[in-house]
Structure 1
Amino acid sequence: MVVCQKFRLTLLITTLASTAFIFSQQASADTNQEATLKAMNQQMIEMNKQIMALKKEVTSLRSRQNKLKAETVKSNINQRKKNINVAQQPSTGMGTAAPSNQTIASTQPQSSAVPIGQPGNNITQQNPRMINVADQSSAQRDEAQQHQKTVLDLLHSTGLPPPDRGASFWSPNMPLLSSATEHDETIYVGGLRIGFPAGRPTIATDDGRYSFAIGLALQEDIGSYINSGTRRGETKGRFSPFRENLRRGRIPITFRYTDYSVNITPDFGNGEAGLYEANMQYGGFKNTILTFGFFEPRVTLEGSESSNEGVLMERPAAVELARGVAAGDSRFSIGGLTYGKRWYLGAYFTGHAYNTTKNNPDIIKDQTGGMLRFAGRPYASRDIDLHIGVSASSAFDVAQTNKGKLYNFSGSPGFRLTQETLVQTGALNNVSSVWEAGPELAFRWKRFLAKSEYIQYGINRSSSNSNLNFDGYYTSLTYTILGKPRSYDIRSAAFRAPGVEYDFDPKQNHWGALEVSGRWSVLDLNSHKNASDGVNGGQQTVWTGGLNWYPNPHFRVMLNYDHIMASSTPNNPLNKHGRNMDAIAMRFQAAF
């Protein structure tokens, strides 16, 4: 019994001792682990301090190296100037010798660029601080480069087509021509920047004071009038089942010196060589551009969009009629525009269009007029843009011809694959002035965009003839399927094309940008049609559907279908009894 009790007591003491030993070992291990972690943490802190110190040393060394390079280049250039001056001095009795060509060559700054044209070599860019800036201080160079960066931040948008005119200050997505960056594949040659800002070939001096750019806006149309809708007693007209047309063939050319620019753009579209613009601009005022010369003052919402970015192949007939009153292509203009984040104002005094006098030798006195457009964006967010505006233009004094003051309104039936018109007023005489005005409204919600405009037209006549009033309107809907949705541009108070996020590449599952559009448009050229001095010009309604594909920012393929319905115009042999017709067309566009 005693032995059993001793055994139990021994077992109990052994168990307690082993348990205490285990707990003591675990506590010791925890203490050691904690100490190890603290030591490692302290080592990491010390290493971070050493890394930061090394970064500061590297930054300091780079700064010293750049400063030394700049000083070396400046010293070499100054030495070269001294050598040239010495070489140009006349010989004296001291027998001073001109420096040899070898000496002069050795004083030229060394370029880091690989020679162009040698096999296996690529063009590398030089440091812009080392080129064409010998007469500028470091502060001036820094200020110029900061200005260029600011311009890029404001104007350079990726994935959007270049404009259809000269790349001057107003252009929605073109940076100022001194602002080409490495992203735009800029190289430096002999103090010049050569690059492709927004895809437009550009040459500029390194300080950005001088620049030159040349672009392209090419649009090839091909289509068919499926059903010309001719009725008995009507002339069939030139509605061909197959026709092609070079709609636009513009070559925008821009010269710029500081805040001044000159744009000249010949246009070879519609089967003839002509001039789209030739003007001078000043952009020295903040968010303001002044223009003098032949120019297209942008009137109406749809008319303010670049032809490279329209939702459909042609603008509505109501808009085209409004543009023709006192704005439109190659119109002589004096005026300007100014804008802010939420507002836009444009005003121009205008004259005749380029070549008008040459094409019509009967003109004795040219037309004078003007246009005004005011627009605002009262609400804007990432997903929503609300646009409200109003535009107006007037021919204060219509052109005087040897047959009197005549005027004619007509509406094109959709595509420019024919010169025929179904609705028209005919030549109206005794016209003293013509005007047009109307509101504009647009709403974007994410990828959906709706636009609408109503335009009233007036023809004031002298003598005993009654004044005439016509109207037109449209509504369009657009949805972006692929790519970035259409965006609002404050510099034109209009909407941009959808943005291409990635160029077309099926292997990478990249398909460019794709959108679908529809539009209903009406133009009514009837006014007092039952009166003896009224006009029965007819009413035209066009339903249009379209699909636009942008494989990249520089190319676009458009497919449009038009259904045209025109009421009768007794004085028009093409449309005596009313006419319905259908047409389908495609456009292949390139823009640089």
Structure 2
Amino acid sequence: MALQKKFQLFLLLTTIISTESILLTSANASTSQEDTLKALNQQMIEMNKQIASLKREVTTLKAQKNKATASTTKTTKRRGRSGTMTVQRENPNTVAEPQNSAPRYASANSMAEPSQPDPKLIDVSQQSDEAKKNQKTVLDMLHGNGLPPPDRGASFWSPNMPLFSAATAHDETIYVGGLRIGFPGGRPTIATDDGRYSFSIGLALQEDIGSYINSGNRRGEEKGRFSQFRENLRRARIPFTFRYTNYAVNITPDFANGSAGLYEANMQYGGLKNTIFTFGFFEPRVTLEGAESSNEGSLMERPAVVELARGIAAGDSRFSIGGVTYGKRWYVGAYFTGHTYSSTRDNPNIIKDQTGGILRLAGRPFTNKNVDIHLGASASSAFNVAQTNNGKQYNFSGSPGFRLTQETLVRTGALDNVSNVWEAGPELAFRWKRFLAKAEYIKLGINRSDNARNLNFDGYYASLAYTIFGKPRSYDIRSAAFRAPGVEYDFDPKQNHWGALEVSGRWSVLNLNSHKYAEDGVHGGQQTVWTGGVNWYPSPHFRVSLNYDHVMATSTPNNPLNTRGRNMDAVAARFQAAF
């Protein structure tokens, strides 16, 4: 039957070639231009008919081949005098191959059967319905739909990798030669048809505007730069991702705060199951709040104690070597880290760079459709603090909420003879349907090399969030953190579609006092911030946030802005675009 079909294909091709030759001869023989055009038009009609017929024949051949391959082989064994005999019952349309011999059609001039694809590679042009179904199930389990793109390169960390296999039905895709051009996850991407190579460009843009309603300075204190109206380009990142099979390179410049900088420049390997290795300038994420993308936080800024913890050995554009591995119920991340990309530029007095490391462990002991329980712990340390012309110095200072000012109310000041700095603490989160509660406690330590005593500080926060409409926040096993509310339908009042809406609140405390009455102690003050906010996602690519901060700080004698204690109020809005 297979030979008969091949012979029919040969006859069909011969018919097409002969028809084309006759029509061309007819067209050339005609001296009239009109007759030539008519002949060419008729030629195209006939060729289209032949092509359509050929496609039907090819489809029939493929169907018969698949049916023959899928046929089950029933094997029975019966014992005879000479031993065991194997009897095979095969599809009558197939030809049995001799046992223990080379396959048929194995000569050099014969047509080899196509090799089986590597299961590690994603061939987006030839995926079975079952493969697509399984792949969609995995993506839904990990990330869901209607979520914002990441704030960094869309490689193996990303919930929407630059693979067309992750594209949704709403993503536009076109073919140009052997390339696919489209928007998987909303990120412009060019990829080869087999998915081995890809290149994507993203965007994370955040514009903040706000006002300090009441700066709260008292008699004898400096007023400080707490403007009644200020705007800030908080983030302006343009991630570039180059990917080849299991390897990726991410380069993300950042043009925020009026200057060009670098957020990341790293190489990644993601060929092992549920494991990602990274080398280069990167943000190794530590603490629960720090593990969330800046595009998806429930409030505009992280708590002050989390920012201090990130700054020790993690944070933006930190040189890192390490990786993460994860499962449905567990997560482990570990990195060796060095200096930040801009440290030598910003501080030319550095003689020796910092070295350090981070470790984060997390688990999800219970989970179902309506409940997620998260338990974890993180720690990081600058084993060797950077040495400058002034020696090894370090300082902690807490931002008063929004990044609409460079002023700080609580701070330790520069501390000398610092040998190492560390942080550690537990993390807890609980989701029930549309409610999400999170809390962390972080201990901060500074060890000194001279006879001065070591210093210990701490901070903590508790937060609540509720999704009013849209999909509730979901758990991301790749980062062991919670994602943003999902947008089921883009904003369209005519269809009664309103995107996703979330309200949230947080209480956070940062204590920078350590042996504050001792000669070698620190009286850095304590800051408490109450924050309330609302997030509206009209689509996965846009967000509008409105936050209100009430800041209370105890006195800090070494800070002229806060010698007597200070309370202040501020309100700010953020407009976000992410692709």
- Asked whether the 8 Å contact 1:561–1:583 carries over to 2, the reply is yes
- Asked whether the 8 Å contact 2:166–2:185 carries over to 1, the reply is no
- Letter aligned with residue 359 of structure 1: D
Q: Alignment partner of 1:184: what SS?
A: coil
* Structure 1 gap segments, 5+ residues each: 1-63, 77-105, 111-128
Deviation per CA, 1:364-394: give whole Å up to 9, x if none. Answer: 0000000000000000000000000000000
Whole-Å separation in 2 of the counterparts to 1:68 and 1:351: 65
Task: Report what 1:140 is aligned to.
Answer: 117
Cα RMSD for the two superposed structures: 2.6
In the alignment, structure 1 residue 328 sits paired with structure 2 residue 310: no
TM-score, scaled relative to structure 1: 0.76
In the alignment, structure 1 residue 154 sits paired with structure 2 residue 134: no
Task: Report what 1:452 is aligned to.
Answer: 439
Whole-Å separation in 2 of the counterparts to 1:535 and 1:259: 49
- Once the two structures are superposed, the pairs formed by residues 149-548 of structure 1 within 5 Å of their partners are 149=132, 150-155=134-139, 157-174=144-161, 176=163, 179-180=166-167, 182-548=169-535
- Asked whether the 8 Å contact 2:476–2:482 carries over to 1, the reply is yes
Q: Alignment partner of 2:256: what SS?
A: coil
Deviation per CA, 1:133-184: give whole Å up to 9, x if none. Answer: x999374399734497355442363210000000001213446356446542
- Letter aligned with residue 237 of structure 1: G
Deviation of 1:218 (Å): 0.3
- Asked whether the 8 Å contact 2:162–2:199 carries over to 1, the reply is no
- Letter aligned with residue 270 of structure 1: N
- Letter aligned with residue 454 of structure 1: Y
Q: Structure 1 segments of 4 or more deviating over 6 A?
A: none
Deviation per CA, 1:268-324: give whole Å up to 9, x if none. Answer: 112221000000000000000000000000100000000000000000001001000
Deviation of 1:550 (Å): 0.4
- Once the two structures are superposed, the pairs formed by residues 82-97 of structure 1 within 5 Å of their partners are none
Whole-Å separation in 1 of the counterparts to 2:113 and 2:470: 44
Q: Alignment partner of 1:421: what SS?
A: coil
Task: Report what 1:5 is aligned to.
Answer: none
Q: Alignment partner of 1:140: what SS?
A: coil
Deviation of 1:559 (Å): 0.2
Whole-Å separation in 2 of the counterparts to 1:184 and 1:298: 30
Whole-Å separation in 1 of the counterparts to 2:315 and 2:245: 28
- Asked whether the 8 Å contact 1:204–1:210 carries over to 2, the reply is yes
Comparing 268-277 with 216-225, greater Cα deviation is found at: 268-277
Whole-Å separation in 2 of the counterparts to 1:402 and 1:306: 36
* Structure 2 gap segments, 5+ residues each: 18-43, 49-61, 63-110
* Structure 1 residues 526 and 68: CA distance shift in structure 2, 3 A: farther
Task: Report what 2:563 is aligned to.
Answer: 576
Whole-Å separation in 2 of the counterparts to 1:580 and 1:550: 32
Whole-Å separation in 1 of the counterparts to 2:443 and 2:498: 42
Whole-Å separation in 2 of the counterparts to 1:233 and 1:268: 38
- Letter aligned with residue 201 of structure 1: P
- Letter aligned with residue 138 of structure 2: L
Whole-Å separation in 2 of the counterparts to 1:432 and 1:181: 52
Whole-Å separation in 1 of the counterparts to 2:373 and 2:497: 31
* Structure 1 residues 68 and 158: CA distance shift in structure 2, 3 A: farther
- Asked whether the 8 Å contact 2:162–2:189 carries over to 1, the reply is no
- Asked whether the 8 Å contact 2:509–2:529 carries over to 1, the reply is yes
Deviation per CA, 1:88-107: give whole Å up to 9, x if none. Answer: xxxxxxxxxxxxxxxxxx9x
Aligned residues: 472
Deviation of 1:355 (Å): 1.3
Q: Alignment partner of 2:117: what SS?
A: helix
* Structure 1 residues 450 and 186: CA distance shift in structure 2, 3 A: same
More helix as a share of residues: 1
Whole-Å separation in 2 of the counterparts to 1:449 and 1:158: 19
Task: Report what 1:42 is aligned to.
Answer: none
- Letter aligned with residue 139 of structure 2: L
- Asked whether the 8 Å contact 2:514–2:522 carries over to 1, the reply is yes
- Asked whether the 8 Å contact 1:160–1:173 carries over to 2, the reply is no
Q: Alignment partner of 2:257: what SS?
A: coil
- Letter aligned with residue 314 of structure 1: E
Task: Report what 1:86 is aligned to.
Answer: none
Deviation per CA, 1:484-507: give whole Å up to 9, x if none. Answer: 110011111000100111111111
Q: Alignment partner of 2:226: what SS?
A: coil
Decide which structure has the larger Cα Rg and report it: 1
Q: Alignment partner of 2:479: what SS?
A: coil
Q: Alignment partner of 2:312: what SS?
A: helix
* Structure 1 residues 343 and 496: CA distance shift in structure 2, 3 A: same
TM-score, scaled relative to structure 2: 0.78
Whole-Å separation in 1 of the counterparts to 2:217 and 2:443: 30
